[in-house]
Chains A and B, each alone.
Chain A
Amino acid sequence: MPSKYVIHTKQIDHRFEPLTRSGIIAWEEGCLKCPVCVKKECVYGVYEKRELNPGQMIDSIDNKCMSCLRCVQNCPGQLIQKSINPEFMEMGDTHWTPDIIARLWYQGETGKIPVSGAGYPGPFSGPGFDSMWTDMSEIVRPTRDGIHGREYISTGVDIGSTPKNLVFDKEGRMVKNESAIIDIPIPVIMRAPDFGAISGNTIKGWISAAKKLETLLAIPVKRIIPEFLKLSAHIIPVISSKDIEGLNINEHVRMVEYIWDEKGASNLKKVKKMFPEALISVRLYLDGDFEKKAMEIFEAGCSIINLEGSYNGRVRDDASIYMKDAIRRIHLAFVEKGVRDEMTLIASGGFSMAEHIAKSILCGTDAVYVDFPILIALGCRMCHRCEQGIPCPVEIDNASIKWVAARTINIIGAWHNQLLEVMGAMGIRDVRRLRGEVGRAMFFEELDKNIFGSLNRVEEGFELE
């Protein structure tokens, strides 16, 4: 058994005060100047500790306020109110919601699992992965001393093709298996997001985090500069058919990703020739008849497929099909063909919360790619201004390598711990056993229809309350 994999996180402060969901509005006019002002009684000392952040020209009060509303409820003049912050509510979109973004900031800052009291505040279920629940085991669980105890819950996965059986030659010597595998201690591979105020330092920070986390970072080959290749073993160059001519990477890489297109099969051979030592993964954009295309890629001799959904976690040309369902369909197609164990499926697109790792694996992948969360952990507000060439409001491109690496380690560390929580509750000790284990998942569509489907009649003379 490998030594225990622990990600050491530590508090890494924000460079810019994050936006808050609500703000304090306090009027001065009409103030009675009470001898003991409610502001002085604040449990959290918010009014005493408030300060002007000269860099950002903002008052830190809203970042310190914990929204207990005691000042609002006790001011005799009723001069203090709280109000929803529209700037916060307008962040992101329906997939990358303001709450998800704020949680990612928190995890990047602290490296901790978000914990809160008073029950679950969210919707009953939702689209995609939100329509799944994971199981728990009432009396059995893997370790006797907690998920962070001495016993081991493995989150390691093998990327590549493991041989079905060992082969020996006539002399009884084992024939060396051609395809190597990469084992990573966490089923997460990082990659540079499609947009963002990303500088050379940002990428260096991510690569350095990838090394520390013992995983990899995928980068489009066009964005790779020689300096990055110092840590080439932790880089996955992403190559499209246009990049093949004149491609010149001599450093050792362990894995490359090729973007599948109509010239796929013939180009794949060229890529293999260029990187004889590396594992070749193929990126399949999920659109059209993606099950058929996935099968073609496998038949063309590629055993690692990256199922690339859209930025918001769906099939690219059909917003009604979520990653959850696309992954299950492809996984089952390979299971039915009897080849699922000879290959690796990785999914990407829209993974925004730690639970998505577990849920994607339950649906049938071996691992996932994480892209925007490692950018949001740096403070990104998903405002897309960088796409229009407008400067980043939180100047991510100016962040130091060290800071980027530490924040990235924090987010992946927090996600790793959450994966352990979910697996611990299920009583599963090895993440490889989670793959396709839908018996340990509960699906909204089935449960809801089974239980409530028959409650469909309102007889004459009745009203609903």
Chain B
Amino acid sequence: MSDNRKFHLPEVVRTPSRFRNAIGKYRLNRTDACTSCGKCVEICPYGVHVMKRGRVYVKNHYLCIGKECPNPCTLGCPENALSFRRNPTFDTMGDYRWTPDLLASTWYMSEFGDVPKAGLNYRTGDSGGGFDKLRIKLRKEEESLDLTDEDIDLSVELNRREDNAHRVKIEVPFYGGGMSYGSVSVTTILSRMKAAKLLGTLCCTGEGGYPDELKPYDDNVITQVATGLFGVREETIQRVRMVEFKYAQGAKPGLGGHLLADKVTPGVARMREAVAGFPLFSPFPFHSVYSVEDHKKHVDWIKAINPKAVVSVKVSTPTDVDMVAVGSYYAGAHVIHLDGSYGGTGAAPEIAKKNISMPIEYAIPKVHQFLIDEGVRDKVTVIASGGIRTPHDLVKIIALGADAVCTGTSDMVALECIRCHKCESGRGCARGIATTDTELVQLMNNDWGTQRIVNMFLAWRKEIIRILKRLGMKSIKELVGRKDVLAHLDYINK
């Protein structure tokens, strides 16, 4: 990663849903009039219909793109035996931010390593503001640079201070945000971590310790030091190249963390040096930090234990977020990680998720400008998280002033999270992602999970490269702070 060896990207391997029936937007109906002539198998561009032992049936409802289909089976069927309608289940999924279309298109990317061809809006959600009202301005005629994809540089240096710490470079402008062992399963953590290694990037452990299973990935691990100090040991800090201080998180700013008793299984308790079956509170704030000077002491403490560690500071987005960011820089942080209010994966009070602190779309441009005015923008890396769902969101937030992003929910969606928002209830996630229940974790295996996440991010990467080429940029670094490549639908021509 940081040496000069040419980095080789992993391959896309088609990885379908781990459930028997993938959920799609449409459902096809075949009446008894069907003679199994095979015409539909022949004309469908997406492999929806299949012929097996002389009989035709619909194998892949979820790949049907409905009325946008250029060669619809419903018209091509000589017996008029086919019809399609919207799948009612599809519309019960998702929400304003993660629309059913966004969920299904993320699943498509995780299966095929490419964005959906048609039929799904994979670019924006339906929240009516922020990312969903911002658009990227591209030149109409395809005057893309005469470059191959390999010529576009997506890598980001995380350490811009000229100090002794590691020169950590990520090959793609994103890395995995913290999700703790306890809140998600070891399989989920390992899948994200392996994918991070394959993609040449990093992934954060969250607050909950550093399971031994992660040892092979030490160079790709960011270990988190949060207010509960769960699982933090000298040895874990010395093992990694990057350490993240979590002061606050966007979903529940000012409220700390809370792992419900049910999720504190014996394994989790051992890792966190706690007692199984009791809830764990990670209080807010760090009780040893009430000023920037105190914070500097914290950073120095990490540097004393691991002098080469790159230090990231994760904060949420209060109205004075710009002051917080500049204070963190002067205290010695290499990376300022801003976590906006609308993201997050863990359980949080709904009132906090909705109301407390500002969306990331506002915080990043504020901080970017403030750091420029202070003359230190090029000495520090700004990471955005909290609601980055798609490659388009990523491009937009970098244009607003971030250097790279952290993802969380999109990784979960790649693993087939349907956003039922019940992660915290009972035995945890019924789909085996955010749970430590011994039976439920069996629903998923590492190889499948790793490949799904790799595929999704390869699709992101391709899409980011396509957009950069159309913007006439050779490097993601050129995009940072280029607000002028964006337009906001509410203000155009006003």
**Given the interface contacts A354-B351, A457-B492, does A83 sit within 8 Å of B421 by beta carbon?**
no
Distance (whole angstroms) from the CB of B222 to the closest CB of chain A: 20
The contact string, 1 if C-beta is below 8 Å from chain B, for chain A 324-368, is 000000000000000000000000000001110011000000000
Cβ of B362 under 8 Å from chain A? yes
User: Once bound together, how far apart are the Cα atoms of A121 and B342, in whole Å?
Assistant: 8
The residue of chain B having its C-beta at the shortest distance from the C-beta of A452 within the complex is B488
Distance (whole angstroms) from the CB of B172 to the closest CB of chain A: 21
Is B419 in contact with A118, judged by CB distance below 8 angstroms? yes
**Residue B422 contacts which of A117, A138, A456 (CB distance < 8 angstroms)?**
A117
Cβ of B4 under 8 Å from chain A? no
Cβ of B80 under 8 Å from chain A? no
Distance (whole angstroms) from the CB of A370 to the closest CB of chain B: 15
**Given the interface contacts A455-B488, A456-B487, does A118 sit within 8 Å of B345 by beta carbon?**
yes
Q: A residues 102-158 with Cβ under 8 Å of B?
A: 103, 113-125, 132-141, 144-146
The residue of chain A having its C-beta at the shortest distance from the C-beta of B250 within the complex is A119
User: Once bound together, how far apart are the Cα atoms of A393 and B130, in whole Å?
Assistant: 41
The interface residues of chain A lying within 8 Å CB-to-CB of B290 are 139-140
Cβ of A171 under 8 Å from chain B? no
Is B349 in contact with A421, judged by CB distance below 8 angstroms? yes
Q: B residues 97-140 with Cβ under 8 Å of A?
A: 97-98, 123, 127-130, 132-140
Distance (whole angstroms) from the CB of B471 to the closest CB of chain A: 10
Is B350 in contact with A464, judged by CB distance below 8 angstroms? no
Cβ of A297 under 8 Å from chain B? no
The interface residues of chain B lying within 8 Å CB-to-CB of A354 are 351
Distance (whole angstroms) from the CB of A411 to the closest CB of chain B: 14
**Given the interface contacts A119-B345, A421-B255, does A146 sit within 8 Å of B424 by beta carbon?**
no
Is A422 in contact with B21, judged by CB distance below 8 angstroms? no
Cβ of A459 under 8 Å from chain B? yes
Is B254 in contact with A114, judged by CB distance below 8 angstroms? no
Interface size, chain B (Cβ < 8 Å): 107
The interface residues of chain B lying within 8 Å CB-to-CB of A241 are none
Cβ of B493 under 8 Å from chain A? yes
The interface residues of chain A lying within 8 Å CB-to-CB of B136 are 464-465
Is B21 in contact with A355, judged by CB distance below 8 angstroms? no
Distance (whole angstroms) from the CB of A130 to the closest CB of chain B: 8
Distance (whole angstroms) from the CB of A138 to the closest CB of chain B: 5
Distance (whole angstroms) from the CB of B365 to the closest CB of chain A: 5
User: Once bound together, how far apart are the Cα atoms of A423 and B101, in whole Å?
Assistant: 37
**Residue A78 contacts which of B21, B420, B491 (CB distance < 8 angstroms)?**
B21
The residue of chain A having its C-beta at the shortest distance from the C-beta of B439 within the complex is A43
**Given the interface contacts A116-B347, A119-B251, does A451 sit within 8 Å of B138 by beta carbon?**
no
User: Once bound together, how far apart are the Cα atoms of A69 and B93, in whole Å?
Assistant: 9
User: Once bound together, how far apart are the Cα atoms of A25 and B423, in whole Å?
Assistant: 24
User: Once bound together, how far apart are the Cα atoms of A230 and B475, in whole Å?
Assistant: 77
Is B344 in contact with A146, judged by CB distance below 8 angstroms? no
Is A122 in contact with B96, judged by CB distance below 8 angstroms? yes
Comparing B46-54, B374-382, B426-434, the segment that makes contact with chain A is B426-434
Cβ of B41 under 8 Å from chain A? no
**Given the interface contacts A114-B349, A120-B353, does A136 sit within 8 Å of B281 by beta carbon?**
no
**Residue B21 contacts which of A72, A83, A462 (CB distance < 8 angstroms)?**
A72
Which of B128, B254, B345 has the largest number of chain A CB atoms within 10 A? Answer: B254
The contact string, 1 if C-beta is below 8 Å from chain B, for chain A 272-283, is 000000000000
User: Once bound together, how far apart are the Cα atoms of A136 and B417, in whole Å?
Assistant: 30
Cβ of A442 under 8 Å from chain B? yes
The interface residues of chain B lying within 8 Å CB-to-CB of A456 are 487-488, 491-494
The interface residues of chain B lying within 8 Å CB-to-CB of A43 are 426-427, 430, 440
The interface residues of chain A lying within 8 Å CB-to-CB of B424 are 115-117
Which of A67, A70, A75 has the largest number of chain B CB atoms within 10 A? Answer: A67
Distance (whole angstroms) from the CB of A465 to the closest CB of chain B: 5
Comparing B185-193, B313-321, B445-453, the segment that makes contact with chain A is B313-321
Cβ of B291 under 8 Å from chain A? yes
**Given the interface contacts A81-B88, A124-B359, does A119 sit within 8 Å of B409 by beta carbon?**
yes
**Residue B20 contacts which of A44, A74, A459 (CB distance < 8 angstroms)?**
A74
Cβ of B418 under 8 Å from chain A? yes
**Given the interface contacts A120-B341, A136-B254, does A103 sit within 8 Å of B247 by beta carbon?**
no
The residue of chain A having its C-beta at the shortest distance from the C-beta of B135 within the complex is A464
Cβ of B40 under 8 Å from chain A? no
Distance (whole angstroms) from the CB of B483 to the closest CB of chain A: 6
Comparing A161-169, A202-210, A424-432, the segment that makes contact with chain B is A424-432
Distance (whole angstroms) from the CB of B225 to the closest CB of chain A: 15
Cβ of B405 under 8 Å from chain A? no
The residue of chain B having its C-beta at the shortest distance from the C-beta of A74 within the complex is B20
The interface residues of chain B lying within 8 Å CB-to-CB of A425 are 253-255, 352, 356-357
**Given the interface contacts A136-B254, A136-B316, A355-B355, does A117 sit within 8 Å of B287 by beta carbon?**
no
The residue of chain B having its C-beta at the shortest distance from the C-beta of A68 within the complex is B430
User: Once bound together, how far apart are the Cα atoms of A81 and B346, in whole Å?
Assistant: 28
Is B89 in contact with A81, judged by CB distance below 8 angstroms? yes
Is B422 in contact with A451, judged by CB distance below 8 angstroms? no
**Given the interface contacts A74-B20, A74-B21, A465-B136, does A122 sit within 8 Å of B316 by beta carbon?**
no
Is B287 in contact with A139, judged by CB distance below 8 angstroms? no
Q: B residues 2-24 with Cβ under 8 Å of A?
A: 17, 19-23
Distance (whole angstroms) from the CB of B257 to the closest CB of chain A: 12
Distance (whole angstroms) from the CB of B140 to the closest CB of chain A: 5
**Residue B362 contacts which of A66, A103, A447, A458 (CB distance < 8 angstroms)?**
A447
Is A67 in contact with B420, judged by CB distance below 8 angstroms? yes
**Residue A121 contacts which of B21, B97, B289, B341 (CB distance < 8 angstroms)?**
B97
Is A72 in contact with B342, judged by CB distance below 8 angstroms? no
Is A139 in contact with B348, judged by CB distance below 8 angstroms? no
Cβ of B442 under 8 Å from chain A? no
User: Once bound together, how far apart are the Cα atoms of A312 and B146, in whole Å?
Assistant: 57
The residue of chain A having its C-beta at the shortest distance from the C-beta of B324 within the complex is A138
Is B412 in contact with A118, judged by CB distance below 8 angstroms? yes
Is A136 in contact with B248, judged by CB distance below 8 angstroms? yes
In the assembled complex, 8 residue pairs joining A and B whose CB atoms fall closer than 8 Å, in A order, are A66-B430, A67-B420, A68-B430, A120-B251, A133-B358, A136-B357, A138-B324, A452-B134
Given A83-B88, A116-B350, A120-B341, 20 extra CB contacts under 8 A: A21-B92, A67-B418, A68-B418, A69-B23, A76-B20, A84-B91, A119-B386, A121-B95, A124-B130, A124-B359, A138-B315, A139-B290, A140-B285, A140-B290, A421-B349, A425-B357, A448-B362, A452-B134, A452-B490, A456-B494
